[in-house]
Amino acid sequence: MLARKTALVTGSTSGIGLGIAKALARQGANIVLNGFGEVEAAKAEIAALGVKVAYHGADMSKPAEIEDLMAFAAREFGRVDVLVNNAGIQHVAKVENFPVERWDAIIAINLSSAFHTTRLALPAMREANWGRIINIASVHGLVASAEKSAYVAAKHGIVGLTKVTALETATTGVTCNAICPGWVLTPLVQKQVDARAAALGVSNEEATRLLLGEKEPSMQFTTPDELGELAVFLCGPASANVRGVAWNMDGGWAAQ
């Protein structure tokens, strides 16, 4: 479905971003990866799917590096057809104790980076009259949790940016939508489960039950592969008139 198209996925060397990148690659898209960590392993996973893969290590908190990332993608593959804004970080603290530098970093990476990639991707998408912008928000773009002020603010902002972008492209072949996951079983979340098990002196299974039981009625993690398949749908012809949606995949979290 996406043969001869290019997908750029930020924060895609592991977890949700890599899961989405692999799903798009299975549909034939060439992939531009971005992020830190096991870069070569991520590149190898994408290349094994039979598409071209490139990598750019832009720091998504720095507009100049984001501009270089977008220019790199255009040089490598012509233009970005599918833009997935996934890069994100987290910090937990009460508002009055929240470190200012952590607030600034979370807003920069989780929200402002999506503005910068979007503004730079849109001209070529408009010219081609086809493009897909998928913003990975969170259930925290729809509801809040205590001690996550910067993350919740940024993810609510991502949902708002999604709606505005969708309205501004509503009469074109470009769509913009957001995906709002609940708990996703990534290596980072697994570390939280392991830490909770150690702190409480309980099994990993019990720690998982406690974590999910606080928020997610389904008592199931969403997987990166499931999120990838939703991203594929949003790139397909059946979703051509899906615009400005914040699509939660959260096991019923926001339904409560």
Q: What is the pLDDT of residues 222-253, one digit of tens each?
A: 999 999 999 999 999 999 999 999 999 999 99
CA distances 135 to 32, 49, 114, Å, are: 16, 24, 7
Give percent of the chain above pLDDT 70.
100
Q: Is 67 helix (H, G, I), strand (E, B) or coil?
A: helix
Exactly one of 151, 183, 221, 253 is catalytic; which is it? Answer: 151
Percent of the chain with pLDDT over 90: 96
Cα separation, 140 vs 124, whole angstroms: 31
Check residue 191 and give its pLDDT. Answer: 87
DSSP-assigned beta bridge partners for residue 9 = 33, 84
Per-residue pLDDT of 139-150, as tens digits, reads 999 999 999 999
Residue 187's pLDDT is 80
Residue pair 56/69 in contact by the 8 Å Cβ criterion: yes
pLDDT of residue 200: 95
55 is catalytic: no
Q: Which two tokens stand for residue 189?
A: 């979340």
pLDDT of residue 54: 98
Q: Residue 46: what pLDDT?
A: 98
pLDDT at 239: 98
Residues of the chain with pLDDT under 70: none
Helices (H), 29-180: 39-47, 63-77, 100-107, 113-128, 149-168
